[in-house]
Amino acid sequence: MRFPLTHFLIGVSPGSLPHHETFGWTSVLVGDAAAAGSSYTTTSLVQVLLAARGAVARCRRSAAEHEQGSPMCGGTSMATGSVCTSLIRRLIPAARKITTSSPVGTQGRARGGTRQMATGKLMSSRDGGPTVICVEGNIASGKTTCLEYFSRTSDIEVLLEPISSWRNVRGHNPLALMYQDPERWAITLQTYVQLSMLKQHLSPSSSSVRMMERSIFSAKHIFVENLFRSGKMPEVDHAVLSEWFDWITANMSLPVDLIVYLQTSPETCHERLKRRCREEEKVIPLEYLQSIHQLYEDWLFRQTLAPLLVIPADHDLQRMLQQYEAHREQILLTPKRPS
C-alpha cells in the first residue's frame, strides 16, 4: 500500500494545510521539495523519518533561535516560528503512528522500553536508533584495536564484549570455568553470554553509529555451535540455548547494518594470544582457533543478516591502522537497513 509522503509527514490531510507549509516542512525533512509529491510504502517512509531526525533536531534549535529573532529553520526562510513549532508537534506523533500501525512485515524502532508491534515482535526502544556495525573475528583477530581506533571519532558509541562481567557473576568466573571444563560449564557461560549480548543490542544510544564487538548472532552461530559440534556441549544444552536464541530473534528487533570481518589466520591469532597472556586464554590450543575460524568462514559468507565487509587482519599494528583508515568512509557511512 502506498501513501502520499506529505500526508504522513504532517500527520493530517495535505488539503487542510497551507500549500507553502506542506512543501516547506517536506523540504526541511527530506532536503528535496520535489519529494513532496512522491508516494512511499510505509516501510520506506519510516526510513525517511529516521533519516530526517537530524533535520528535526536542527528545526528544534532553529525554533529556539527564532524566539530570539532568527527567521530561519534549516535554511528555509519562514516569517514566524509557527511552522517549525508545528512540525515538531505534529511530526513526532505521526512518526509514532506509522511505526506502531504499519502493515504486517513492517517494523519500527521506538524509544522508552519494549513494546508489542503490529508484526508481533517486541521492539527495542530506539527511536530511529543508531547505525549498528558488528566487528567480528576470531579470538585475537584485532577487534578491540579496531574498535578503539574508531572510538576516537565523534558521535560513535563503541561496545566491547562485556568480558569483565563474564569473569565475575556475583563472585564466580564462568569464563575461566568454561575453558577448564567446557562439558560442565559451557551451558552456564553461553546462557550468560546470550543475556549480556542481548542487553547490549537493546541498550539505548544517543550516537549516530554504534560499533559492537561481536554480537548475539556470532555468540550462537560460532561459539555455541563450536561447543556442540566438538562434543563439549550435550545435545539437550544445545537445544535449550537454540530455543532461547530462536525466540529472541523472532520476537525482538535486533538490527545490524554492517558486519566487519577481521579475517585472520588461526596461526596469527595463536601467536597473538601467547603475547597478550590473558589468564583464561592460556589453555586455548591452536585447534580451537582453527575450529572458530572455519565456523566464521562458513557462517559469514552465507548469512543474510547484514552486508559483509572483509578486512584482511594478519598484518602488524601499523598496517592494520592504515587499513582501518582506508575503510573509514565505507564503515561509518553505512546506510541503515530497513528494520
Residues 162, 49 within the same domain: no
Query: Is residue 5 within 8 Å of 35, Cβ to Cβ?
Result: yes
The angle subtended at Cα 316 by Cα 311 and Cα 319, nearest 5°, is: 60
Q: Is the pLDDT of residue 223 over 70?
A: yes
Q: Strand, coil or helix: what is 230?
A: coil
Average pLDDT estimate for 129-158: 96
Q: Is the pLDDT of residue 209 over 90?
A: yes
H helix runs in 252-302, sequence order: 266-276, 286-300
CATH of the domain at 237: 3.40.50.300
Largest Cα–Cα distance of the chain, in whole Å? 72
User: How many other C-beta atoms lie within 10 A of the C-beta of residue 178?
Assistant: 24
Residue 30: inside a domain? yes
Q: What is the pLDDT of residues 289-332, one digit of tens each?
A: 999 999 999 999 999 999 999 999 999 999 999 999 999 999 99
Note the pLDDT of residue 286. 95
DSSP code per residue over 167-200: H-BTTB-HHHHHHH-HHHHHHHHHHHHHHHHHHH
Residues 313, 264: Cα–Cα separation, whole Å: 5
Residues 165, 216 within the same domain: yes
Which band of pLDDT confidence, cut at 50, 70 and 90, is reported for residue 334?
A: confident
pTM score? 0.64
Q: Is 11 left (phi over 0), alpha (psi -120 to 50) or beta?
A: left
Note the pLDDT of residue 148. 96
Residues 157, 94 within the same domain: no
Domain total in the chain:
2
Q: Is the pLDDT of residue 158 over 80?
A: yes
Query: Is residue 214 within 8 Å of 136, Cβ to Cβ?
Result: yes
DSSP code per residue over 93-136: HHHHHHHHHPPTT-----SSS-EE-TTSPEEPS-SS--EEEEEE
Q: What's the Rg (C-alpha) of the chain?
A: 24
Residues 140, 262 within the same domain: yes
Q: What is the pLDDT of residues 74-120, one digit of tens each?
A: 444 333 344 443 443 444 444 444 333 333 333 333 333 333 444 44
Residue 8: inside a domain? yes
Q: Is pLDDT larger for residue 158 or for residue 84?
A: 158
Q: What is the pLDDT of residues 184-197, one digit of tens each?
A: 999 999 999 999 99
Q: Provide the domain limits for residue 323.
A: 131-332
Note the pLDDT of residue 278. 78
Residues 301, 239 within the same domain: yes
Residues 78, 197 within the same domain: no
Q: Is the pLDDT of residue 140 over 90?
A: yes
Percent of the chain with pLDDT over 70: 62
Cell of 102: 504499519
Residue 141: inside a domain? yes
Residues 164, 299 within the same domain: yes
Residues 166, 192: Cα–Cα separation, whole Å: 7
Which band of pLDDT confidence, cut at 50, 70 and 90, is reported for residue 212?
A: very high
Note the pLDDT of residue 49. 39
| Domain end position, chosen among 70, 89, 106 | 106
CA distances from 243 to 63, 115, 194, 238 (A): 50, 22, 12, 9
Average pLDDT estimate for 139-151: 96
Residues 56, 186 within the same domain: no
Q: Is the pLDDT of residue 249 over 90?
A: yes
Catalytic residues: 213
Q: Which helix (H) or strand (E) holds 237?
A: helix 235-251
Which band of pLDDT confidence, cut at 50, 70 and 90, is reported for residue 339?
A: low
Note the pLDDT of residue 122. 56
Q: Is the pLDDT of residue 59 over 80?
A: no
How does the average pLDDT of the chain come out, rounded? 74
Query: Is residue 324 within 8 Å of 149, Cβ to Cβ?
Result: yes
Residues 323, 229 within the same domain: yes
Q: What is the pLDDT of residues 11-49, one digit of tens each?
A: 333 343 333 333 333 333 333 333 333 443 433 433 443
Residue 125: inside a domain? no
Cell of 192: 550468560
DSSP code per residue over 22-87: HHHHHHHHHS-GGGGG-EEEHHHHHHHHHHTHHHHHHHHHHHHHHHTT--EETTEE-SSSHHHHHH
Residue 115: inside a domain? no
Residues 55, 189: Cα–Cα separation, whole Å: 44
Average pLDDT estimate for 130-142: 97
Residues 211, 131: Cα–Cα separation, whole Å: 8
Residues 306, 221 within the same domain: yes
Residues 171, 93: Cα–Cα separation, whole Å: 46
Residue 337: inside a domain? no
Residues 261, 107: Cα–Cα separation, whole Å: 27
Q: Is the pLDDT of residue 143 over 70?
A: yes
Residues 78, 224 within the same domain: no
Residue 173: inside a domain? yes
Residue 111: inside a domain? no
Residues 57, 200 within the same domain: no
Q: Is the pLDDT of residue 73 over 70?
A: no
Q: Is the pLDDT of residue 71 over 70?
A: no
Note the pLDDT of residue 290. 98
